[in-house]
């Protein structure tokens, strides 16, 4: 009984605070503020966070601007190098790495080979035969010093076309340079073993055919 009276007295002395409803936070103003800071250009207008794909000239052009303090960075804010190069290209509808499949509508020949573009000194290409998927994938290795390769299964001929930067005669490569064995065309410093094709059809190796003197 005494405990009950104490609880009632304590309840009378306790001030009841009214519950004030909290207005929900509106994100439109913060979103508009962030859009104003980063820039929300209309189509055709420049953006400080994005350089036009055709204006990229050096590696410094692929450095990111970074995200604003207190924000979550996006790929456009923090990507660098080749990743940023690919993103800027995709934003303009350009597939910079040309990931579409090779031409499988015909069988490559020595006179009309299937062209494989490469930005490096060496390139692998997967052949699935002609007609397409007529055999398992066979990987063919092509280099600048041996650009032609023939599939051993279906006989289709592929040729590598170098589309990379031009060679710098003053560049320092480092592999065998001190011995004078480095080649500017991506060739190795050693001679590969001869095969039957080197004697019968040297054009299979991408080397010029010998000219025989008629007697």
Strand intervals (E) in 34-129: 114-118, 122-127
**Matching residue, tokens 């979103």:** 31
115 within 8 A of 161, measured Cβ to Cβ: yes
Determine the Cα–Cα distance for residues 91 and 79; give it in Å rounded to an integer: 14
96 within 8 A of 83, measured Cβ to Cβ: no
Is there a binding annotation on residue 188?
no
Determine the Cα–Cα distance for residues 137 and 105; give it in Å rounded to an integer: 16
Q: Measured on CA atoms in the order 172, 175, 176, 178, is the torsion positive or negative?
A: positive
3-state SS assignment for residue 118? strand
Is there a binding annotation on residue 172?
no
The token duo for 64 is 């990111």
Is there a binding annotation on residue 151?
yes
Is there a binding annotation on residue 179?
no
Residues at the binding site are 127, 135, 151, 154
Going by the annotation, the residues of the binding site for Zn(2+) are 127, 135, 151, 154
């Amino acid at each position: 009984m005494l405990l009950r009276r104490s609880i009632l007295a304590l309840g009378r002395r306790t001030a009841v605070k009214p519950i004030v409803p909290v207005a929900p936070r509106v994100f439109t103003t913060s979103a508009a503020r962030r859009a104003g800071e980063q820039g929300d250009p209309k189509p055709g207008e420049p953006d400080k966070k994005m350089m036009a794909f055709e204006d990229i000239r050096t590696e410094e052009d692929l450095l990111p601007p970074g995200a604003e303090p207190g924000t979550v960075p996006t790929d456009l804010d923090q990507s660098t190098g080749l990743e940023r190069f690919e993103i800027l290209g995709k934003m303009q509808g350009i597939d910079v790495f040309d990931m579409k499949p090779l031409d499988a509508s015909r069988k490559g020949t020595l006179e009309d080979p299937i062209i494989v573009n490469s930005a490096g000194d060496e390139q692998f290409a997967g052949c699935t035969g002609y007609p397409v998927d007529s055999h398992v994938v066979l990987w063919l290795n092509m280099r600048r010093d041996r650009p032609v390769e023939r599939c051993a299964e279906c006989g289709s001929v592929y040729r590598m076309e170098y589309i990379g930067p031009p060679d710098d005669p003053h560049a320092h490569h480092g592999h065998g340079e001190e011995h004078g064995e480095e080649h500017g065309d991506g060739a190795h410093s050693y001679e590969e073993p001869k095969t039957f094709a080197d004697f019968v059809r040297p054009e299979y190796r991408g080397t010029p055919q010998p000219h025989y003197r008629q007697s």
